[in-house]
Structure 1
């Protein structure tokens, strides 16, 4: 620890000597946490503490077990660089790669993290305007996307520096256990000692919020004003935390972006999947479970998981409704009572699926006949969505209509969750629909999955590979970061660039369409919202 501290000061001294980069490399003040002291580096005037342990390494006897607090350390721990991401289940190359999507790797480095992942991954990052100044700033905690399979809180798009400076807030991003390491239901195989194993990834998130409660004041944050946020899989994680008894009282507002988590996995399905993984990895005993190499577990998952699972047609990792940790599906048959007083901001992007299908051979090439054939092949729900979207957007290309129809789960899940929450909650629900279109790639992506992230983080200038570099991107970043900061501070999203944002209710389903000319609309995708379910 002392060596690491010395290295941090060497870096800071070198930066001081080079003049122009001194501000970027200046050491922060030392902050004392409940496990020990930490020191990071300033990022252009904002204190950044990266790679702080919030729990003990989940290895050996702690593998597949609920997280426990990190052991105390002496001296000052290094907080100048990110901690390792969890073991990743991401294919670093494949038929969906293109120059455009490869460029986006610069801000969402999934392929890179597959090279540096580690089972020892329970780290978080803090950005604050002034650590140790006694401030009581709103805290914005971000849970990353990547489903429950890959990702980390260290992606460049999630850098909290700009948001912390603009809003005078404290930003936290979190790594946690993923895929088999966080969601392998071993209770049927190994008994009650492993009763929590199917949900330990989400218990890591709870543990990170406990760390925030106990330590964030030392970083200038207010533990009584915590907003949790997440996109895609991160949105599902937020949805589940709203319904987890162990998370009750640890946060006060919630943001769900392109990832409504209405349902949970079922224990029996998860146990069957786990059994197949154990067989493929050669695990037979508890001792095997503790000692099998992490890469063997990952290899076993790849062997037994069909390719169709990536499209939702097969076994999936994620929280399971075990009756205890996750008592039931989070928002069925009703919204969770424990979160009725939590303001919720929820939304989605107009053409979510273009990010995933832009490299497919048919993208940009199908005609109306091809669209009808694709819809028929993908099922009645997609076919009905094609008809609904064609009526809404008569000038859109067949490719655009196909992409939108394939992404109705984002739309329908958002409105289902918003309906359930607004039906019983005492706190307001605010819904958005991002309709601004990125100019990158000649505009072929329109409003894709993840487009919201660099905008609400105020990281547009650092994310030109996705948002472009025109005035529209800058305006959208100003508008959305304004709104997210205001929500964290007051419970209502607002910006001078937006009309008054009215809450979503059962009588007026008001949705803010986020664009350079934003507008508040009543039930803008009613025809999709009311599509019959399978």
Structure 2
């Protein structure tokens, strides 16, 4: 009996590992058959009076060997993610773009048409690695755009660990048959997706052009949290896309600058984003969109990228408004996603030394699967003289930025997940702050003391009661909300409409941590049944309408919505997005004064 119980328990655990690892269902069958074979073999050995320690050891060795081989041989295949969740979706009418004819697919209730995996530039492979994106090639016949293109090259998390993170972190893991695969990944990744309402409009529709986040190192356009189906139902067209990441997107070297006809290097991912925006401007009318009413949007590194597009001379005239969530690059010395050219080139030197080559051209011969493993830091844009011609804050000081209105903001607990493994104590608190604020760490510690008994109402977040809580508060301001403080101040000086939010809503998933607002703003709470309440859905409905109104008019306000006051010289409050939506004082205003002092040391 004990033997049988152990076999059954181990088999159940093994099946769970196969499920979490996304192994194909054949692996389940083989695992179960192996367990049955173990039980049958033991019974037969007992009947023959041959059951002993030696036979038991042999049986277990064979059993474990079969399970191990089965785990490897039934590993999940790689495939592109379907454009919609419904099986066998209906196909749309043919749409004609510059490169050729294409079709998309309908979502389940036929309310939205999704055109996924449309190439917006030529594959950046071979000689085109580390070069500006080239125009997409034409195709013959009708292209079926019914699945997302592969995600850009990036470090891939083991699927078992990824599943565990969704159980322990997002709390949204579900056992689903049909998802036994891993998303395809390729250097050939320059594809975009269009979400359009099914019903035709008498007038061209405004467009939301979304740039995904991921520290310029990870991310994919298929991610459920910013798919555009629900926003499209409200009368806008949503576009998102993949772009080159990490070493493929942000590697910089002088020899590449010399070979470029535009004298550029280090911003290939940003140039991909701009190429995608240009493609949308040139082709969106075919989907019912208005090329003269484009809003660029992004979160985290995507928001930093939006900030970069606002200053790039290459985007002038390609968009109207900007939506920026949880990041920017307007500090004199940005804390992330932006670096000096000298720093970019130095990291480029590291890459060549790492792979034992002397030129960037030799790096083109390194397989993408190997190059992506670089240990160097390739997660930042730079001033290349082409896509970005000067430090972004200088462009804003001159009033030469492009956005005609801004919707932007941040979440209550922006930094908490990034500092999860950081051990903070009263003794090392200032030292940790000094890693980014140097001599001004002591000043910050006076504003947010390490021994604060709790995060008080001034910060409008939950009590922590230790130095770790204080560190989270400080770094949420340093890394994330400070850039929005600067962005709003510049636009107020310029007389450009700007609206700032503060997302504090708690829930059973990502809550109000970094990226927690995404499924609310883009209408994807329904993809996580059981994790969100009626209050969450009500907030999401309001946020979606704010976002859509803004894309239509440059003003988020509308009938039935709580008033979102525009920032001006006399109005510096934020709109708190929670069960109760109201204007409040910025909880980090005193922290910004310290960061201002630190930033003033850079000319």
TM-score, structure 2 normalization:
0.74
- Is 1:71 paired with 2:137? yes
1:196 counterpart = 2:259: no
Match of 1:81 in 2: 147
Q: Could you tell me which of 171, 181, 185 is aligned with 2:238?
A: 171
Aligned match for 1:339, one of 397, 401, 415: 401
Cα distance change on mapping 1:384 and 1:27 into 2, 3 Å: farther
C-alpha contact 2:113 2:196 (8 A) present in aligned 1: yes
Q: Deviations over 1:445-480 (max 9, x none)?
A: 651111111001011111358xx2211210111111
2:500 to 417, 428, 431: 431
Q: Is the Cα–Cα contact under 8 Å of residues 245 and 338 in structure 1 kept in the other structure? A: no
1:103 Cα shift? 4.1
Look up the match of 2:6.
none
Q: Counterpart in 1 of 2:311?
A: 243
CA 1:455–1:280 in 2, change beyond 3 Å: closer, same or farther? same
Give the conservation status (yes or no) of the 8 Å contact 1:85–1:151.
yes
Contact kept in structure 1, 2:207 and 2:238, CA below 8 Å = yes
SS of equivalent residue, structure 1 residue 141 = strand
Whose radius of gyration is greater, 1 or 2? 2
- Counterparts of 1:102 and 1:498, CA distance in 2: 29
Are the equivalent residues in 2 in contact too, given 1:187–1:193 (CA < 8 A)? no
* One of 397, 402, 413 as aligned partner of 1:351: 413
- In structure 2, how many angstroms separate the alpha carbons of the residues matched to 1:51 and 1:256? 25
Aligned counterparts of 1:346 and 1:316: Cα–Cα separation in 2 = 26
1:528 pairs with one of 588, 591, 600: 591
Deviation at 1:331, TM superposition (A): 2.3
- Aligned twin of 1:459: 524
Quote the offset at 1:323 in angstroms: 2.9
1:152 & 1:487 partners in 2: Cα distance? 25
Deviates more, 1:123-132 or 1:470-479: 123-132
Residue among 541, 544, 557 paired with 1:481:
544
* Aligned CA-pair RMSD: 3.0
Q: 2 CA distance for matches of 1:115 and 1:257? A: 26
Q: Could you tell me which runs of 5 or more consecutive residues in structure 1 were left unpaired when the two chains were aligned.
A: 1-10, 107-111, 306-314, 363-369
CA shift digits 1:226-249 (9 cap, x unpaired): 011000010000000000000111
Give the secondary structure class of the aligned counterpart of 1:230.
Answer: strand
Answer whether contact 2:205 2:290 (CA < 8 A) is retained.
yes
* CA positional deviation for 1:348: 0.1
Structure 2 distance, partners of 1:52, 1:290, is 25
Contact 1:256 1:347 in 2 (8 A): yes
In structure 1, what is the Cα distance between the partners aligned to 2:517 and 2:124?
32
2:483 maps to 413
Contact 1:281–1:296 under 8 Å retained in 2: no
C-alpha separation between the residues in 1 aligned to 2:406 and 2:394? 17
Stretches of structure 2 that go unaligned for 5 or more consecutive residues are: 1-81, 175-179, 434-440, 599-603
Q: Secondary structure at the match of 2:298?
A: strand
Aligned ranges 1:157-306 → 2 under 5 Å: 157-165=225-233, 167-188=234-255, 191-193=258-260, 195-262=263-330, 263=334, 264-285=338-359, 287-299=361-373, 301-302=374-375, 305=376
Question: Quick check: 1:31–1:132 contact (8 Å CA) kept in 2?
Answer: no
**Pair 1:449–1:495, CA change in 2 (3 A):** farther
* 1:32 paired to 2:106: no
Structure-to-structure mapping, 1:316-335, within 5 angstroms: 316-332=378-394, 334-335=396-397
Cα offset, 1:261, TM superposition = 2.1
Change (3 A) 1:430 1:210: same
Counterpart contact for 1:55–1:122, Cα < 8 Å? yes
d(CA) in 1 for partners of 2:156, 2:393: 29
CA contact (8 A) 2:123 2:189 kept: yes
How far apart are the structure 2 equivalents of 1:340 and 1:204? 19
Match of 2:124 among 58, 74, 89: 58
Cα distance in 1 for partners of 2:133, 2:260 equals 14
1:121 paired to 2:189: yes
Shift of 1:33: 0.5
Describe the superposition over 1:287-331 as per-residue Cα deviations: whole angstroms up to 9, x where unpaired. Answer: 4233221122112x22xx3xxxxxxxxx45221012332011222
1:134–1:200 CA distance, 2 compared to 1 (3 A): farther
Tell whether the 8 Å contact from 2:125 to 2:188 is kept in structure 1 after alignment.
yes
Asked if 2 retains the 8 angstrom alpha-carbon contact of 1:160 and 1:457, the reply is: yes
After TM superposition, the structure 1 stretch with the greater mean CA deviation from structure 2, 489-498 or 61-70, is 489-498
